[in-house]
Amino acid sequence: MVNKLCLGLLLLISCELFASADVVEFSDEELRPRYQQLIAELRCPKCQNQNLADSNSPISVDLRRQVQRLLEEGMSNQQIKAYLTSRYSDFILYRPQVKQNTWFLWIAPIALLLLGLLILYRISQRQKSTVPLDKPVEEPAKETLSSDDQLRLRELLKNTNGDSN
């Protein structure tokens, strides 16, 4: 009994979910991919972090309908974006145009990558100059032991050998 009730409720919920995804009709099916691309790239003005495709807020529903209408009227993607930015400002574009106040956004990733590579290069250069890899490491140690020290070292080694025996 309870199971049946649960199943019924689940069915109800899934029906509702299905109904909320709106069906868009186009006179020409070639418009559909452009529509999908546009609503993915346009931002919902009310809900900040969603695009028009994801959002179900009333303004997004209206703007999706408007995009569809403008596509049917034969506007190009560029014209539709211009239409919306003239009303909702650049805010509505998730892919901002390169302009005076947006060039930094576009340049920053490349500039930071180059800066990182430069720092990496400098660090590797510095390591090369402090540790010469082409010479054997023991060599300077040999040089620093004077002949007296060598003698003492030999003595010490003799003694320890004698102890262990």
The residues that touch another protein, with contacts defined as CB under 8 A, are 45-46, 48, 58-59, 62-63, 66, 85-91
61-80: buried (b, 16+ CB within 10 Å) or exposed (e) per residue?
eebbeebbebbeeeeeeeeb
Based on CB atoms, which residue is closest to another protein, 59 or 75?
59
Closest by alpha carbon to 91, among 51, 62, 139? 51
| Alpha helical stretches, state H, the chain | 2-20, 31-41, 58-72, 77-88, 103-130, 138-144, 147-164
Cβ-contact 38, 78 below 8 angstroms? no
Based on CB atoms, which residue is closest to another protein, 58 or 74?
58
114 DSSP β-pair partners: none
Based on CB atoms, which residue is closest to another protein, 58 or 132?
58
Minimum distance, C-beta of residue 85 to another protein, in the bound complex (Å): 7
Based on CB atoms, which residue is closest to another protein, 79 or 160?
79
- Tokens 């695009």 -> residue: 51
Based on CB atoms, which residue is closest to another protein, 36 or 89?
89
* Residues 139, 156: Cα–Cα separation, whole Å: 22
Minimum distance, C-beta of residue 59 to another protein, in the bound complex (Å): 5
* Residues 115, 49: Cα–Cα separation, whole Å: 30
Minimum distance, C-beta of residue 102 to another protein, in the bound complex (Å): 13
Minimum distance, C-beta of residue 60 to another protein, in the bound complex (Å): 10
Minimum distance, C-beta of residue 88 to another protein, in the bound complex (Å): 5
